[in-house]
Homo-oligomer: A and B are copies of this chain.
Amino acid sequence: MSLIVQKYGGTSVGNPERILNVAKRVIATQEAGHDVVVVVSAMSGVTDGLIKLARQCSSNPTEREMDVLLATGEQTTIALTAMAINGLGKKAVSLTGAQAGIITDGVHTKAKIANITPKQIHAHLKNGNIVIVAGFQGETTDGRITTLGRGGSDLTAIAIAAAIKADICQIYTDVDGVYTCDPRVVPTARKIDEISYEEMLEMASSGSKVMQSRSVEFAKKFGVIFEVRSSFNNNPGTIVKEETKNMENVVVRGVSIEKNQAKVTIRQVPDRPGTAAKIFSALAGANLSVDMIVQSDSVGDTNDISFTLNKDDLTKTKKSMESVMKEIGAKEMTTEEGIAKLSIVGIGMRSHSGVAAKLFEAMAAGGINIQMISTSEIKTAVIIDETKINEAAVLAHDAFGLSGKV
Protein backbone atom coordinates (compact mmCIF):
# COMPACT_ATOMS: atom_id res chain seq x y z
CA MET A 1 0.00 0.00 0.00
CA SER A 2 1.29 3.40 -0.98
CA LEU A 3 0.40 6.93 0.04
CA ILE A 4 -0.37 8.86 -3.14
CA VAL A 5 -1.02 12.57 -3.73
CA GLN A 6 -2.92 13.34 -6.93
CA LYS A 7 -3.33 16.83 -8.32
CA TYR A 8 -5.98 17.73 -10.89
CA GLY A 9 -5.81 21.05 -12.74
CA GLY A 10 -8.61 23.35 -13.85
CA THR A 11 -9.26 21.60 -17.17
CA SER A 12 -9.48 18.18 -15.47
CA VAL A 13 -12.22 19.47 -13.12
CA GLY A 14 -13.73 21.90 -15.66
CA ASN A 15 -17.34 20.72 -15.33
CA PRO A 16 -19.45 18.28 -13.25
CA GLU A 17 -18.93 15.47 -15.77
CA ARG A 18 -15.15 15.83 -15.53
CA ILE A 19 -15.32 16.06 -11.75
CA LEU A 20 -17.18 12.73 -11.76
CA ASN A 21 -14.41 11.28 -13.94
CA VAL A 22 -11.83 12.51 -11.46
CA ALA A 23 -13.89 10.95 -8.66
CA LYS A 24 -13.85 7.58 -10.43
CA ARG A 25 -10.11 7.79 -11.05
CA VAL A 26 -9.46 8.63 -7.40
CA ILE A 27 -11.70 5.78 -6.23
CA ALA A 28 -9.89 3.36 -8.55
CA THR A 29 -6.61 4.41 -6.93
CA GLN A 30 -8.02 3.80 -3.47
CA GLU A 31 -9.48 0.45 -4.53
CA ALA A 32 -6.02 -0.56 -5.79
CA GLY A 33 -5.08 -0.42 -2.11
CA HIS A 34 -3.63 3.06 -1.69
CA ASP A 35 -4.28 5.99 0.62
CA VAL A 36 -5.13 9.00 -1.53
CA VAL A 37 -4.89 12.76 -0.98
CA VAL A 38 -6.27 14.81 -3.87
CA VAL A 39 -5.36 18.44 -4.60
CA VAL A 40 -7.66 20.32 -6.99
CA SER A 41 -7.57 23.66 -8.77
CA ALA A 42 -10.49 25.96 -9.51
CA MET A 43 -12.68 24.79 -12.40
CA SER A 44 -11.31 26.26 -15.63
CA GLY A 45 -12.74 29.72 -16.27
CA VAL A 46 -13.80 30.29 -12.66
CA THR A 47 -10.71 32.25 -11.61
CA ASP A 48 -10.97 34.49 -14.68
CA GLY A 49 -14.63 35.10 -13.91
CA LEU A 50 -13.78 36.12 -10.35
CA ILE A 51 -11.03 38.47 -11.52
CA LYS A 52 -13.53 40.09 -13.89
CA LEU A 53 -16.02 40.56 -11.05
CA ALA A 54 -13.29 42.11 -8.92
CA ARG A 55 -12.40 44.62 -11.62
CA GLN A 56 -16.05 45.62 -11.87
CA CYS A 57 -16.03 46.43 -8.16
CA SER A 58 -12.66 48.20 -8.08
CA SER A 59 -10.19 49.27 -10.76
CA ASN A 60 -7.36 48.21 -8.48
CA PRO A 61 -8.60 45.44 -6.14
CA THR A 62 -6.83 45.09 -2.79
CA GLU A 63 -4.55 42.05 -2.80
CA ARG A 64 -5.78 40.87 0.61
CA GLU A 65 -9.34 40.77 -0.72
CA MET A 66 -8.27 39.30 -4.05
CA ASP A 67 -7.02 36.28 -2.10
CA VAL A 68 -10.29 35.96 -0.17
CA LEU A 69 -12.11 36.07 -3.50
CA LEU A 70 -9.92 33.71 -5.52
CA ALA A 71 -9.77 31.14 -2.71
CA THR A 72 -13.47 30.47 -3.30
CA GLY A 73 -12.60 28.93 -6.68
CA GLU A 74 -10.73 25.97 -5.20
CA GLN A 75 -13.14 25.75 -2.26
CA THR A 76 -15.95 25.15 -4.75
CA THR A 77 -14.02 22.34 -6.44
CA ILE A 78 -13.08 20.52 -3.23
CA ALA A 79 -16.72 20.42 -2.13
CA LEU A 80 -17.96 19.20 -5.52
CA THR A 81 -15.21 16.57 -5.77
CA ALA A 82 -15.88 15.25 -2.26
CA MET A 83 -19.63 15.14 -3.02
CA ALA A 84 -18.99 13.27 -6.25
CA ILE A 85 -16.90 10.66 -4.43
CA ASN A 86 -19.50 10.42 -1.63
CA GLY A 87 -22.19 10.00 -4.29
CA LEU A 88 -20.26 7.03 -5.71
CA GLY A 89 -20.36 5.43 -2.27
CA LYS A 90 -16.90 6.21 -0.91
CA LYS A 91 -15.80 8.26 2.08
CA ALA A 92 -14.25 11.63 1.23
CA VAL A 93 -13.86 14.94 3.03
CA SER A 94 -12.76 18.30 1.73
CA LEU A 95 -10.25 20.62 3.38
CA THR A 96 -9.47 24.23 2.48
CA GLY A 97 -5.81 25.20 2.43
CA ALA A 98 -6.15 26.59 5.95
CA GLN A 99 -7.90 23.47 7.21
CA ALA A 100 -5.20 21.30 5.64
CA GLY A 101 -2.64 23.18 7.73
CA ILE A 102 -0.91 25.07 4.92
CA ILE A 103 0.75 28.07 6.55
CA THR A 104 2.21 30.75 4.29
CA ASP A 105 3.95 34.07 4.60
CA GLY A 106 1.80 37.20 4.30
CA VAL A 107 2.61 38.22 0.71
CA HIS A 108 -0.90 38.28 -0.73
CA THR A 109 -1.49 36.88 -4.27
CA LYS A 110 1.98 35.29 -4.33
CA ALA A 111 2.51 33.83 -0.88
CA LYS A 112 5.22 31.29 -0.12
CA ILE A 113 4.48 28.14 1.89
CA ALA A 114 6.19 28.45 5.27
CA ASN A 115 5.19 25.06 6.65
CA ILE A 116 2.47 22.44 6.62
CA THR A 117 0.85 20.84 9.67
CA PRO A 118 -1.03 17.93 8.10
CA LYS A 119 -2.80 16.87 11.31
CA GLN A 120 -6.27 16.94 9.74
CA ILE A 121 -5.07 15.15 6.60
CA HIS A 122 -3.63 12.31 8.68
CA ALA A 123 -6.74 12.10 10.88
CA HIS A 124 -9.12 11.84 7.92
CA LEU A 125 -6.89 9.32 6.10
CA LYS A 126 -6.82 7.21 9.24
CA ASN A 127 -10.63 7.13 9.21
CA GLY A 128 -10.61 5.70 5.69
CA ASN A 129 -11.35 8.94 3.87
CA ILE A 130 -10.09 10.17 0.57
CA VAL A 131 -8.92 13.68 1.48
CA ILE A 132 -9.59 16.50 -0.99
CA VAL A 133 -7.44 19.60 -0.45
CA ALA A 134 -7.86 23.01 -2.09
CA GLY A 135 -4.78 23.90 -4.11
CA PHE A 136 -3.31 27.37 -4.53
CA GLN A 137 -4.23 28.62 -1.05
CA GLY A 138 -3.15 28.78 2.56
CA GLU A 139 -3.39 31.05 5.55
CA THR A 140 -1.01 33.21 7.53
CA THR A 141 -0.28 32.56 11.19
CA ASP A 142 -2.64 35.44 12.02
CA GLY A 143 -5.48 33.84 10.07
CA ARG A 144 -5.55 35.72 6.77
CA ILE A 145 -6.38 33.79 3.58
CA THR A 146 -3.52 33.81 1.06
CA THR A 147 -2.99 32.43 -2.44
CA LEU A 148 0.23 31.09 -3.90
CA GLY A 149 0.15 32.70 -7.34
CA ARG A 150 0.55 30.97 -10.72
CA GLY A 151 1.14 27.25 -10.58
CA GLY A 152 0.10 27.33 -6.94
CA SER A 153 -1.91 24.12 -7.04
CA ASP A 154 1.07 22.11 -8.26
CA LEU A 155 3.05 23.59 -5.43
CA THR A 156 0.35 22.63 -2.91
CA ALA A 157 0.42 19.04 -4.16
CA ILE A 158 4.22 18.75 -4.03
CA ALA A 159 4.39 20.41 -0.62
CA ILE A 160 1.71 18.14 0.85
CA ALA A 161 3.46 15.11 -0.65
CA ALA A 162 6.62 16.25 1.14
CA ALA A 163 4.80 16.94 4.42
CA ILE A 164 3.01 13.58 4.58
CA LYS A 165 5.96 11.68 3.05
CA ALA A 166 3.87 10.40 0.13
CA ASP A 167 5.39 7.72 -2.08
CA ILE A 168 4.54 9.68 -5.21
CA CYS A 169 2.80 12.88 -6.29
CA GLN A 170 0.86 12.55 -9.54
CA ILE A 171 0.26 15.81 -11.40
CA TYR A 172 -2.74 15.23 -13.70
CA THR A 173 -2.98 17.64 -16.57
CA ASP A 174 -4.22 17.82 -20.17
CA VAL A 175 -0.98 16.51 -21.68
CA ASP A 176 0.50 13.02 -21.48
CA GLY A 177 3.74 14.13 -19.85
CA VAL A 178 6.91 15.98 -20.68
CA TYR A 179 7.90 15.67 -24.34
CA THR A 180 11.29 15.83 -26.04
CA CYS A 181 9.84 18.90 -27.77
CA ASP A 182 6.42 20.48 -28.29
CA PRO A 183 4.65 17.87 -30.53
CA ARG A 184 2.80 20.67 -32.35
CA VAL A 185 6.21 21.91 -33.52
CA VAL A 186 8.09 18.61 -33.85
CA PRO A 187 5.64 15.85 -34.84
CA THR A 188 8.16 13.12 -34.04
CA ALA A 189 8.57 14.32 -30.44
CA ARG A 190 8.27 11.54 -27.85
CA LYS A 191 7.08 11.50 -24.29
CA ILE A 192 10.01 11.28 -21.86
CA ASP A 193 9.64 8.41 -19.35
CA GLU A 194 12.04 9.74 -16.71
CA ILE A 195 13.69 13.09 -16.26
CA SER A 196 15.83 14.57 -13.49
CA TYR A 197 14.74 17.59 -11.43
CA GLU A 198 17.60 19.59 -12.97
CA GLU A 199 16.53 18.85 -16.50
CA MET A 200 12.89 19.54 -15.67
CA LEU A 201 13.93 22.90 -14.22
CA GLU A 202 15.90 23.85 -17.30
CA MET A 203 13.02 22.75 -19.55
CA ALA A 204 10.56 24.80 -17.47
CA SER A 205 12.69 27.92 -17.46
CA SER A 206 13.30 27.69 -21.20
CA GLY A 207 9.72 27.57 -22.33
CA SER A 208 8.20 24.15 -21.61
CA LYS A 209 4.89 25.13 -20.03
CA VAL A 210 4.13 21.88 -18.19
CA MET A 211 5.08 23.11 -14.71
CA GLN A 212 6.35 26.21 -12.95
CA SER A 213 9.98 26.13 -11.83
CA ARG A 214 9.25 26.72 -8.17
CA SER A 215 7.18 23.53 -7.86
CA VAL A 216 10.02 21.53 -9.38
CA GLU A 217 12.52 23.27 -7.10
CA PHE A 218 10.36 22.44 -4.09
CA ALA A 219 10.16 18.78 -5.18
CA LYS A 220 13.94 18.67 -5.67
CA LYS A 221 14.59 20.25 -2.29
CA PHE A 222 12.41 17.72 -0.45
CA GLY A 223 13.08 14.76 -2.74
CA VAL A 224 9.43 14.38 -3.80
CA ILE A 225 9.14 12.01 -6.76
CA PHE A 226 6.38 13.21 -9.04
CA GLU A 227 4.73 12.13 -12.25
CA VAL A 228 3.22 14.41 -14.89
CA ARG A 229 0.37 12.56 -16.63
CA SER A 230 -2.96 13.02 -18.39
CA SER A 231 -6.33 12.96 -16.63
CA PHE A 232 -8.01 12.02 -19.92
CA ASN A 233 -6.38 8.61 -20.43
CA ASN A 234 -4.51 5.92 -18.48
CA ASN A 235 -1.13 6.26 -20.15
CA PRO A 236 1.85 6.40 -17.82
CA GLY A 237 3.34 9.89 -17.71
CA THR A 238 6.79 11.33 -17.10
CA ILE A 239 8.46 10.57 -13.78
CA VAL A 240 10.53 13.44 -12.36
CA LYS A 241 13.09 12.47 -9.74
CA GLU A 242 16.70 12.72 -8.58
CA GLU A 243 19.07 11.88 -11.43
CA THR A 244 20.35 8.34 -11.76
CA LYS A 245 23.54 7.07 -13.39
CA ASN A 246 21.42 5.70 -16.19
CA MET A 247 20.03 9.11 -17.11
CA GLU A 248 23.48 10.38 -18.06
CA ASN A 249 23.63 8.09 -21.08
CA VAL A 250 21.20 10.39 -22.85
CA VAL A 251 23.12 13.51 -23.83
CA VAL A 252 20.11 15.66 -24.64
CA ARG A 253 16.80 15.01 -22.90
CA GLY A 254 14.73 17.55 -24.77
CA VAL A 255 14.48 20.69 -26.84
CA SER A 256 12.56 23.73 -25.57
CA ILE A 257 11.56 26.70 -27.61
CA GLU A 258 10.35 30.09 -26.46
CA LYS A 259 8.81 32.59 -28.83
CA ASN A 260 7.89 36.26 -28.28
CA GLN A 261 11.39 37.23 -27.22
CA ALA A 262 13.02 40.62 -27.70
CA LYS A 263 16.63 41.70 -27.55
CA VAL A 264 17.89 44.97 -26.10
CA THR A 265 21.45 46.18 -26.67
CA ILE A 266 22.97 49.07 -24.73
CA ARG A 267 25.90 50.29 -26.80
CA GLN A 268 29.19 51.84 -25.72
CA VAL A 269 28.75 51.29 -22.02
CA PRO A 270 31.85 52.72 -20.24
CA ASP A 271 33.94 49.78 -19.12
CA ARG A 272 34.12 50.30 -15.35
CA PRO A 273 32.88 48.38 -12.31
CA GLY A 274 29.21 48.79 -11.39
CA THR A 275 27.73 49.77 -14.75
CA ALA A 276 26.17 46.36 -15.45
CA ALA A 277 24.85 46.27 -11.89
CA LYS A 278 23.10 49.61 -12.42
CA ILE A 279 21.40 48.35 -15.60
CA PHE A 280 20.11 45.11 -14.12
CA SER A 281 19.14 46.61 -10.76
CA ALA A 282 16.95 49.08 -12.62
CA LEU A 283 15.32 46.23 -14.55
CA ALA A 284 14.77 44.19 -11.40
CA GLY A 285 13.35 47.26 -9.67
CA ALA A 286 10.81 47.60 -12.49
CA ASN A 287 9.92 43.90 -11.98
CA LEU A 288 11.26 42.98 -15.42
CA SER A 289 12.51 39.46 -15.88
CA VAL A 290 15.64 39.26 -18.00
CA ASP A 291 16.60 35.97 -19.61
CA MET A 292 19.89 35.82 -21.52
CA ILE A 293 22.68 38.38 -20.92
CA VAL A 294 25.73 38.82 -23.15
CA GLN A 295 28.49 41.37 -22.68
CA SER A 296 30.83 41.91 -25.60
CA ASP A 297 34.56 42.04 -25.09
CA SER A 298 35.52 45.67 -24.56
CA VAL A 299 36.54 47.77 -27.54
CA GLY A 300 38.64 50.66 -26.32
CA ASP A 301 37.11 51.68 -22.99
CA THR A 302 33.51 50.70 -23.72
CA ASN A 303 31.57 47.52 -24.42
CA ASP A 304 28.08 46.55 -25.51
CA ILE A 305 25.63 44.80 -23.19
CA SER A 306 22.76 42.78 -24.72
CA PHE A 307 19.93 40.99 -22.98
CA THR A 308 16.72 39.25 -23.96
CA LEU A 309 13.31 39.35 -22.35
CA ASN A 310 9.66 38.83 -23.16
CA LYS A 311 8.50 41.03 -26.01
CA ASP A 312 5.58 42.34 -23.92
CA ASP A 313 8.04 43.91 -21.48
CA LEU A 314 9.84 45.94 -24.13
CA THR A 315 8.08 49.30 -23.66
CA LYS A 316 8.52 49.15 -19.90
CA THR A 317 12.19 48.22 -20.39
CA LYS A 318 12.94 51.14 -22.70
CA LYS A 319 11.43 53.51 -20.16
CA SER A 320 13.40 52.09 -17.23
CA MET A 321 16.68 52.30 -19.23
CA GLU A 322 16.43 56.01 -20.10
CA SER A 323 17.71 57.45 -16.82
CA VAL A 324 20.19 54.60 -16.28
CA MET A 325 21.85 55.26 -19.65
CA LYS A 326 22.37 58.92 -18.74
CA GLU A 327 23.71 57.95 -15.33
CA ILE A 328 26.30 55.47 -16.66
CA GLY A 329 27.06 57.46 -19.80
CA ALA A 330 26.04 54.86 -22.38
CA LYS A 331 25.60 56.10 -25.92
CA GLU A 332 22.74 54.25 -27.54
CA MET A 333 20.04 51.60 -27.09
CA THR A 334 18.85 49.34 -29.89
CA THR A 335 16.01 46.84 -29.63
CA GLU A 336 14.96 43.94 -31.80
CA GLU A 337 11.76 41.94 -31.84
CA GLY A 338 10.96 38.84 -33.87
CA ILE A 339 13.50 36.59 -32.18
CA ALA A 340 13.08 33.29 -30.35
CA LYS A 341 15.10 31.02 -28.09
CA LEU A 342 15.93 27.37 -28.63
CA SER A 343 17.43 25.36 -25.76
CA ILE A 344 18.73 21.83 -25.57
CA VAL A 345 18.74 20.31 -22.10
CA GLY A 346 20.37 17.19 -20.66
CA ILE A 347 22.46 16.18 -17.66
CA GLY A 348 24.47 14.01 -20.08
CA MET A 349 26.09 17.22 -21.36
CA ARG A 350 28.26 17.27 -18.27
CA SER A 351 30.09 14.15 -19.39
CA HIS A 352 29.85 14.49 -23.16
CA SER A 353 31.86 16.99 -25.15
CA GLY A 354 30.97 18.60 -28.46
CA VAL A 355 27.30 19.10 -27.68
CA ALA A 356 27.27 22.83 -28.40
CA ALA A 357 29.22 22.34 -31.60
CA LYS A 358 26.70 19.72 -32.76
CA LEU A 359 23.84 22.16 -32.15
CA PHE A 360 25.59 24.95 -34.04
CA GLU A 361 26.28 22.58 -36.95
CA ALA A 362 22.62 21.61 -37.09
CA MET A 363 21.62 25.28 -37.24
CA ALA A 364 24.21 25.99 -39.89
CA ALA A 365 23.00 23.06 -41.98
CA GLY A 366 19.59 24.74 -42.04
CA GLY A 367 21.08 28.12 -42.90
CA ILE A 368 19.91 29.50 -39.56
CA ASN A 369 21.93 32.38 -38.13
CA ILE A 370 22.70 32.32 -34.40
CA GLN A 371 22.44 35.77 -32.79
CA MET A 372 23.26 35.01 -29.17
CA ILE A 373 24.52 31.97 -27.26
CA SER A 374 24.16 31.08 -23.60
CA THR A 375 25.26 27.92 -21.85
CA SER A 376 24.89 26.32 -18.46
CA GLU A 377 26.16 23.01 -17.15
CA ILE A 378 23.20 21.10 -18.57
CA LYS A 379 21.79 23.51 -21.18
CA THR A 380 22.83 25.22 -24.38
CA ALA A 381 20.56 27.98 -25.69
CA VAL A 382 20.66 30.06 -28.84
CA ILE A 383 18.70 33.09 -30.01
CA ILE A 384 17.60 32.94 -33.63
CA ASP A 385 15.10 34.56 -36.00
CA GLU A 386 11.57 33.77 -34.79
CA THR A 387 10.42 32.74 -38.28
CA LYS A 388 12.99 29.92 -38.22
CA ILE A 389 12.25 28.55 -34.77
CA ASN A 390 10.05 25.58 -35.75
CA GLU A 391 12.48 24.47 -38.42
CA ALA A 392 15.35 24.86 -35.94
CA ALA A 393 13.51 22.72 -33.37
CA VAL A 394 13.14 19.86 -35.88
CA LEU A 395 16.81 20.12 -36.83
CA ALA A 396 18.01 20.07 -33.21
CA HIS A 397 15.60 17.27 -32.29
CA ASP A 398 16.93 15.13 -35.15
CA ALA A 399 20.57 16.01 -34.58
CA PHE A 400 20.43 14.60 -31.04
CA GLY A 401 18.43 11.53 -32.03
CA LEU A 402 15.38 12.40 -29.97
CA SER A 403 12.82 11.15 -32.49
CA GLY A 404 11.69 7.57 -32.66
CA LYS A 405 11.89 5.08 -29.81
CA VAL A 406 14.09 5.52 -26.72
Residues on the B chain within 8 Å of A80, using CB: 53-54, 57, 65, 69
Q: State the CA gap A78–B62 with chains docked (Å).
A: 12
Q: State the CA gap A332–B60 with chains docked (Å).
A: 69
Q: In the complex, are the beta carbons of A20 and B120 less than 8 A apart?
A: no
Q: Is A50 an interface residue (CB 8 A)?
A: yes
Residues on the B chain within 8 Å of A66, using CB: 79, 83
Q: In the complex, are the beta carbons of B64 and A93 less than 8 A apart?
A: yes
Q: State the CA gap A375–B58 with chains docked (Å).
A: 54
Q: In the complex, are the beta carbons of A54 and B75 less than 8 A apart?
A: no
Q: In the complex, are the beta carbons of A76 and B83 less than 8 A apart?
A: no
Q: Is A82 an interface residue (CB 8 A)?
A: yes
Q: In the complex, are the beta carbons of B143 and A99 less than 8 A apart?
A: yes
Residues on the B chain within 8 Å of A87, using CB: 57-61
Q: In the complex, are the beta carbons of A83 and B71 less than 8 A apart?
A: no
Closest to A134 in B: B68
Minimum CB–CB distance for A184 against chain B, Å: 33
Q: In the complex, are the beta carbons of B56 and A82 less than 8 A apart?
A: no
Q: Is A19 an interface residue (CB 8 A)?
A: yes
Closest to A91 in B: B62
Q: State the CA gap A19–B80 with chains docked (Å).
A: 27
Q: Is A86 an interface residue (CB 8 A)?
A: yes
A21-65 contact mask (Cβ, 8 Å, vs B): 1 or 0: 001000000000000000000000000001001101111111011
Residues on the B chain within 8 Å of A81, using CB: 57
Q: In the complex, are the beta carbons of A68 and B79 less than 8 A apart?
A: yes
Q: Which of B57, B62, B78, B84 contacts A16 (CB 8 A)?
A: B57
Copies in the complex: 2
Q: Is A275 an interface residue (CB 8 A)?
A: no
Q: Is A320 an interface residue (CB 8 A)?
A: no
Q: Is A188 an interface residue (CB 8 A)?
A: no
Q: State the CA gap A75–B65 with chains docked (Å).
A: 10
Q: State the CA gap A258–B178 with chains docked (Å).
A: 65
Q: In the complex, are the beta carbons of A57 and B99 less than 8 A apart?
A: no
Residues on the B chain within 8 Å of A60, using CB: 87
Q: State the CA gap A19–B145 with chains docked (Å).
A: 22
Residues on the B chain within 8 Å of A65, using CB: 79-80, 82-83, 86, 93-94
Q: State the CA gap A86–B69 with chains docked (Å).
A: 14
Q: Is A212 an interface residue (CB 8 A)?
A: no
- Considering only residues 267-321 of chain A, those with a C-beta below 8 Å from chain B are none
Closest to A87 in B: B58
A135-151 contact mask (Cβ, 8 Å, vs B): 1 or 0: 00000000101000000
Residues on the B chain within 8 Å of A96, using CB: 68, 145
Q: Is A205 an interface residue (CB 8 A)?
A: no
Return 5 A-B CB contacts under 8 Å, by A number: A19-B57, A57-B81, A62-B83, A68-B82, A69-B83
- Given A17-B56, A99-B143, 5 more pairs with CB closer than 8 A: A54-B79, A57-B81, A58-B87, A62-B86, A72-B72
Q: Which residues of A contact B (CB under 8 A)?
A: 16-17, 19-20, 23, 50, 53-54, 56-62, 64-66, 68-69, 71-72, 75-76, 78-84, 86-87, 93-94, 96, 99, 120, 143, 145
